[in-house]
Amino acid sequence: MKLLEGKTALITGASKGIGRKIAEKFAEHGANVAFTYLSSVEKGLALEEELKSFGTQVKGYRSDASKYDEAEKLIGDIVNDFGTIDIVVNNAGITKDGLLMRMSEENFDDVIEVNLKSVFNTTKAASKIMMKNRKGVFINMSSIVGVQGNAGQANYAASKAGIIGFSKSVAKELGSRNIRTNVVAPGFIKTEMTDVLDPEVVKGWEKDIPLKRAGETEDIANVCVFLASDMSAYITGQVISVCGGML
């Protein structure tokens, strides 16, 4: 059963990690997939070729969602290329970790711009299309760090907590137009970034997770498929933690 057949989805920051797996799962479930990448050009082009094997319409865009004008242009280009937009997964994000006393203003601002302002930019632009259609879905990627905080990640935690407050507000504003907005808060997920960590350190972290393992990108992608589909038609304004019980 293809849960997203006939729907057009945008996934930002999809060249690797969680975003890439979401794009794959969406295409597998019949969605037409638009996605963005920025610095990882080769990976973005490779993903575009890979997703075409699912038989749906696919296109990658090199775009910086943290720039308001670029986000506006992106949504316009997607509507021109695909005809409409039904689902937006705001996944683009960065980390620039450091203790507060050593954190530069630039590192704080950069993380807020990419992680939080990009969600505002893309959501505002896409909501104009969805309001005309009187339907749509936003899935915004936060983190359990945005719920409980984490030493050395004040900037990241602030950006991810901001996404939660923003999303709950948008859910209230756009609900009457049948536009749903939900948040996914991943826990410790295995990606390219975690592959470089000391395996013994990872084992120590996994011991503290009730399910006794790190999450897979597929664990996140499966939840996003559910939230994007009509199976979750009466769910909006919620934060779903995918963390193996860490919270």
Per-residue b or e along 16-27, where b marks 16 or more CB atoms closer than 10 Å to that residue's CB: bbbbbbbbbbbb
158 annotated among ligand-binding-site residues? yes
160 annotated among ligand-binding-site residues? yes
157 annotated among ligand-binding-site residues? yes
Can you say how many angstroms the Cα of residue 150 is from the centroid of all Cα atoms in its chain? 20
46 annotated among ligand-binding-site residues? no
171 annotated among ligand-binding-site residues? no
Question: Three-state SS for 169?
Answer: helix
Q: For residue 212, which phi and psi values (nearest 5 degrees)? A: 60, 30
78 annotated among ligand-binding-site residues? no
For residue 36, give the amino acid letter. Answer: T
Classify residue 216 by burial, with Cβ atoms within 10 Å: 0-12, 13-18, 19+. Answer: middle
- Give catalytic residues, as residue numbers: 156
52 annotated among ligand-binding-site residues? no
- Residues of the binding site: 91, 156-160, 189
- Residues of the binding site for NADP(+): 91, 156-160, 189
